[in-house]
Amino acid sequence: MIRFLFLLVVSSFSLSAVPVTAIDRLAKEIETKVIQWRHHVHQHPELSNQEVQTAAFIAQHLRDLGIEVQTGVAGHGVVGLLRGGKPGPVVALRADMDALPVTEKTGLPYASTVTAPYGDKEVGVMHACGHDAHVAILMGTAEVLVGVREDLAGTVKFIFQPAEEGAWPAPEWGAKLMITEGVLENPKVDAIFGLHVWSSMPSGVIGLRPGPVMASSDFLRVTVTGKQTHAAAPWAGIDPITVSSQIILGIQTVASRQVNILGTPSVVSIGTIHGGDRNNIIPDEVVMTGTIRTYDPKVRVAYHEKVKRTAEKIAAASGATAEVYIGDNTGYAATVNHEELTESMRDVFVRVAGEGNLVRSDLTTGSEDFSFFQQQVPGVFFFLGVTPLDQDPAKAAANHSPLFFVDDTALITGVRAMAQVAAEYLERN
């Protein structure tokens, strides 16, 4: 607490020995390179846990800068260590590297034409969530901070993380596995920062919010077992399709009637439902999968219990059974920004974005495994707008869309933000 009180006092008087002018100048000098790096990564996307080329590209860049490099962390993760010219704490900066199983439809000259096996089929691969921008921004940040190395009062750890988009039933997400393999140790990290490009904000605008920012995400599977029979005589069996439809409606009452969601929204959605092989046969079994999103750990636990109870009781009322699986170990925790750290660095974000361009970001029911880093050390996750200023962000293609687009002019703001917030954190501590 003493540390953060000191941070607040220092930031309120804008006292800093950080070479802000040099950081901004160096960022501007490499802007073209940052854009080229993004286009390269965008054109050569790799799915979760397959980021071989991306990791090699990053590692070589860091080595060329004279940064200590560790590869093969949590699969294909890359970690760089930059020791400043003065003693001080350790700050980590994180970028995720993986792409999505999405076929690109942007028509850009550097659009992805990559395909890869995914499950039992061949799919298009695209950086439809902007991780290519995250990689390029952090590569640029590393180059900028090397340029002011002697002024840094501590150490910067650059974390290039695989498998943020990793899908169930992967045993551990990229962030969790990196933590398990010691990414926050040797040297021990004191604070961590990360960003995400966001299409719902104008290019260069920064979104920041203390406390909960993004929701937790839990995999949900409900297996409903009835008794197979001819569809012409449903009374001779137990219809799991009808029971499943009742369960889908029933679990919506968890949010509307069973959990106090004042101040902490929550969502449960069913995304798949499979059952039956023929139009005139009522099957034995139906399997549904979905997702549960919450912001509060207590609400999350309550949701799990009440969804399970509701599904089981509805099934029992019709003579069927419902087996409910909620993947506690395969989901994300809520992304929660450390309140004191967020507020203490607000002036840095104002300085980078410019007056009026730092906004309070809305809660989003999307999820991020950056949350696992925040469970270990104080962390701040912020958003960077990437929709061109002459376009309406409300009409922009959303993250994960095959039409998702990143305005390259926003990248330099990301570099300046990451570099300045790291340098300021080290100096103020």
Here the tokens at position 387 are 């929709």
Is the Cβ–Cβ distance between 368 and 164 less than 8 Å?
A: yes
Neighbouring C-beta atoms of residue 181, cutoff 10 Å: 16
Cβ neighbours of residue 203 under 8 Å, at least 6 residues apart? 385, 386, 387, 388, 389, 407, 409, 410
Q: Is 289 helix (H, G, I), strand (E, B) or coil?
A: strand
Here the tokens at position 376 are 């270990």
d(CA 259, CA 251): 11
| DSSP states of 206-220 | EEE-SEEEE-EEEEE
Is the Cβ–Cβ distance between 110 and 39 less than 8 Å?
A: yes
d(CA 406, CA 396): 10
CA angle 191, 197, 202 (to 5 degrees): 125
Is the Cβ–Cβ distance between 429 and 7 less than 8 Å?
A: yes
d(CA 89, CA 83): 10
- Would you give the distance in Å from CA 163 to the centre of its chain? 10
Nearest alpha carbon to residue 427 among 9, 15, 5, 4: 15
d(CA 223, CA 239): 13
- For the chain, the maximum distance between any two Cα atoms, rounded to a whole number of angstroms, is 81
The catalytic residue positions are 98, 164
Q: For residue 162, say if its preceding peptide bond is cis, omega within 30 degrees of 0.
A: no
d(CA 10, CA 428): 7
